[in-house]
Structure 1
Amino acid sequence: MLTNNSFFLWLRQSFKLSLLSFHSSLYFLLGIGVFVQLSGLVFNNDNSRYATQLNLLLFLPSLLVLFVSVLSKVFWLQRSMLLISALFGWVLVYSLVNNAAGDNFLHWFKNVFYILLYLSVIGFLVFDERRFCCVLASSSLVVAVAAILTLYYQFLVLNHPLDYESARWHRLFQLGWRGFADLDHPIYAGLYYGVFSIVLTWFYLNFKLKHWQCVFLFVGLFSLLFYVLYTFSRGAWFATAFSGFMLLIFSWNKKSKILMTFGCLVIALSLFVFWSEIYNEQKIGVNGRQLIWGAWLDQLPTFWMWGNGAGSIFSFTFPGGMGKIPAGFTVNQAHSLYLQLWYEYGVVGLILFLSLLVSLFRKAWACREQPLAKLGAALLIFCMVAMVSEVHSIIMRPNPYWVVVWFPIAILLGIKKSDAKQVNHVE
């Protein structure tokens, strides 16, 4: 009898050790996958290579997480996740009954499935805050180095001028060397680098750092902010500024007070020194978006209830006399995610999405003592501001918008109210 008890005890302990080893290996592998997803946009110069890396390092291992986390009621049955499921269900149903883009049901199912895999992976990693912070730190380091190299190459090697009149129409979005750190458009670049400026600010506010770490952090942070500034993407400017301000409020401590004072001084000095440039930006305004939104409003009675169908293209052609915008230039989206969602999926899709945002904020508030909840809330604010005028689609395969939209959503889905872990945080 003693021998049998010893055998079963040994068997149970071996099973526990194997399970711990499996989880540890899975955390490591998925950490690499998320690192590639977050920072691979700057160290890859080929979109197909980036997609292959994600499939092998992120989505393939994530199938294991999806299988394991199916058993987790905490994650899948929370209110926000149910709203996401309802939104995705509406997208899939609508792709069957009103598929304006011509893409078949399988196309939309794949996109939704990829996003669900991603949400489950981030949620799984957030359970271990220390390891997740390592992924965040390494990704932020790579992106900050990419920003530094871009600034060096563009302004010191290629000698592009820094003055407003020249730089305003030579907006940053790429390194300019062999296709690396190429985000395709200044809007994408501004939003992408803006997210990591918020992440670095969060690290400074919520962790005890050594002096040399603070020096490197601020070099990276100022490089990211300088990059965002020279994209001349006003959506990225406002999203970064407002989410950064709210992060200071959420993390209210001695460090946030110092940064807020410094930020107010910089803003006051900028208003005095660069008033003519600021006034010129005010004259540019929303750069023709008011005409797009006006045309959308004119068509509202035709689609407000049920929308025009999944993937519908909102087409608008500019008239003449729009400054830098040539007559006849056509856009294929409403230049606002809220308006585009309403245009495609009707008031039902819009209400589901807005309800999701509200539920995530409620969860962030309930978990406000946790540092990751502060980061998730700040990045969600960044996302909400950006979606007013910049983001145009979210049901897509991995792209820069995933970092802006689905990453903060996944963080807030992953945090738990009972989670009281601390990772060398500021008191």
Structure 2
Amino acid sequence: MGLAWLTLGLFWFLLGITWISSTKLYQQGLIVLFWLPAVWLSWSQRKYAFEVWRLEKTLMVALCALIVWAAASVIWTAAEEPAREAKRLFYVLFFLLGLVYVGSIPSRVVSLLQWAGFGLALAALAALVQHYGFENKPWRWRAQGFGLLDHPIIGGYVFGMALIWWSCLPPRRTSLRLAWAVGLLMLFTFTVMTQSRGVWIALLASVLLMPTWRAGRAGLIMALLLVVAATVGFWLFGDYVVARGTSYRPEIFAASVGMILDKPWLGLGLGSEYQVKALGRMFDHTHNLFTHVALELGLPGLALWLAIWGRSLAIAVRERDTTLGNMLIGLWVFCTMALLFDGANLWDSPRPEWFLTWLPVGLALGLMGLRAPSKCYHPSLSTRERSLP
């Protein structure tokens, strides 16, 4: 019962981000549908969590160390409400624990991501129709989604992630392949129409590298099609893209490094607000998650985050012969590129940015379900593959 409840909560997390218009309602739904069952399972199924800890001490120790270090930093933080900032650490902790338990049934995770991809594809189609159809916006206007994805950049990243994971989870039934292909086209169209170059680069990098870990013609065909689309797009709109320059990213990075060097060991503290000054302009964050973590939590915090992020990739590569492992490599590449250009925060309350940070880490922990014994379900790879729709 608890696991079914938790699965529903993860579905809410993946789809509510665009179909729920209220941030407060979205987060309250997560409390009821995800955090409460995660807390319950953390006690009732604690033996399974201990088994995952035994099998994956590197990632688990790094995660615990980062959370403890972030909690300690409230001592020197300049945040107005340090207790509120520390409370958000528990959100992350139980979110990751929840994904550990959902991952105990790999076939359920695959089905969940397939249905979530379908729901996000419908949301992409609805947003395009609303924006360019009913509202009659010019094609040069940037597309934006519904709900919490009503910003072109963050909406582009979430729909781009859905494009990556759904492309790795094709339905086995021929009758569903057409709907799957159309959905991929809708997700791709939306990401292109956001006109976010960070999204384009992340998508291009992940798809071009896909043949290196995904054997067969599918990955190669996708890479070739994207190269053709990128070439045609640059030929048609190259002047427009180049005219926008680098959006101050190099200057922001250089200024951020200078700020990090001012407090390299302790950082500003958890939740501290700051502004980056570059070329006479002020920016609310570093536009790069790695420099943001170093600025907020110092170099120790950055080292721990890099250990977490790198270990998540190592787990995905180790499990690359599985459906979820193969998919996670693609997501990791996409998210890494995204975080280099537009990463803003690591500890904020649940929001779209969690798709780029904690969701890949949680899926990596969930992959331990392939190795940790679970009394719920522990199929062989062949059984899991046959169970796909």
What's the TM-score, normalizing by structure 1?
0.82
Using the TM superposition, name which of 249-258 and 85-94 deviates more. 249-258
Report if aligned partners of 1:192, 1:400 keep a CA contact under 8 Å in 2.
yes
The residue aligned with 2:124 is 147
AA in 1 matched with 2:257? L
1:171 to 137, 142, 149: 142
Q: 1:45 aligns with which of 12, 17, 21?
A: 21
SS of structure 2 residue aligned to 1:415: helix
Aligned residue runs from structure 1 range 256-295, under 5 A: 256-271=219-234, 273-274=235-236, 277-295=237-255
- Cα distance in 2 between the residues matched to 1:184 and 1:330: 23
Q: Report the counterpart of residue 361 of structure 1 in structure 2.
A: 313
The answer to whether the Cα contact below 8 Å between 2:3 and 2:37 also exists between their aligned partners in 1 is no
RMSD, aligned CA:
2.1
Whole-Å separation in 2 of the counterparts to 1:200 and 1:186: 21
Q: Provide the C-alpha distance between the structure 1 equivalents of 2:196 and 2:105, rounded to a whole number of angstroms.
A: 35
- Contact 2:255/2:278 (8 A) holds in 1: no
Q: Percent identity?
A: 22
Which AA in structure 2 matches 1:101? A
Question: Are the aligned partners of 1:248 and 1:256 in contact in 2 as well (CA < 8 Å)?
Answer: yes
**Does the aligned pair in 1 maintain the 2:11–2:116 contact within 8 Å?**
yes
Q: 1:240 aligns with which of 197, 200, 203?
A: 203
Alignment-derived partner of residue 386 in structure 2: 424
What is the match of residue 39 of structure 2?
63
Q: CA deviation at 1:354?
A: 0.7
Check the 8 A contact 1:122/1:410 in 2, yes or no: yes
TM-score where L is the length of structure 2? 0.90
Structure 1, unmatched stretches of 5+, are 1-24, 175-179, 321-328
Please give the alpha-carbon distance, in whole angstroms, between the structure 1 residues aligned to 2:109 and 2:261: 46
Bigger mean CA deviation after superposition, 110-119 or 71-80: 71-80
The letter for the 1-side match of 2:366 is G
Q: Which has the higher contact order (CA 8 A, sep 6+)?
A: 2
Counterpart among 43, 62, 73 of residue 94 in structure 1: 73
Which amino acid is the alignment partner of residue 151 of structure 1? L
Deviation per CA, 1:388-423: give whole Å up to 9, x if none. Answer: 121111112110011221111111111136474332
1:202 and 2:160 are equivalent in the alignment: no
Structure 2 counterpart of 1:220, from 179, 183, 196: 183
Q: CA 1:69–1:376 in 2, change beyond 3 Å: closer, same or farther?
A: farther
- Structure 1 residue 100: deviation in Å? 1.8
1:409 corresponds to: 361
Query: 3-state DSSP class of the match of 2:47?
Result: coil
Shift of 1:255: 2.1
Deviations 1:99-136 (A, max 9, x none): 122322x3233211111111111121122122112211
Distance 2:45 2:13 in 1: 21
Runs (4+) of structure 1 exceeding 4 A deviation are: 317-320
Answer yes or no: is the 8 Å Cα contact 1:314–1:334 preserved in 2.
Answer: no
Q: 1:285 to 1:65 in 2, by over 3 A?
A: farther
Residues in 2 aligned to 1:149 and 1:214: alpha-carbon distance in whole angstroms: 20
Gaps of 5+ in 2: 372-377
- 1:103 equivalent among 81, 89, 92: 81
1:21: which partner in 2?
Answer: none
Report the CA distance shift for 1:368/1:75 in structure 2 as closer, same or farther (over 3 A).
same
Listed one character per residue, the Cα deviations across residues 156-215 of structure 1 (whole Å, up to 9, x for unaligned) are: 2111122xxxx2xx32223xxxxx4352422111111111011111113xx5341x3121
Q: Secondary structure at the match of 2:79?
A: coil
In structure 2, relative to structure 1, the CA distance for the partners of 1:263 and 1:188 (3 Å cut) is closer
Q: Does 1:306 align with 2:266?
A: yes
Partners in 2 of 1:262 and 1:233 — Cα distance? 20
User: What is the CA–CA distance in structure 2 between the aligned matches of 1:85 and 1:108, rounded to whole Å?
Assistant: 17
Q: CA deviation at 1:84?
A: 0.7
Is 2:104 the partner of 1:136? no
Amino acid aligned to 1:172: A
Number of positions where the alignment pairs a residue of Structure 1 with one of Structure 2: 375
Partner of 2:137: 160
1:69 Cα shift? 4.3
**How much does 1:227 deviate?**
0.9
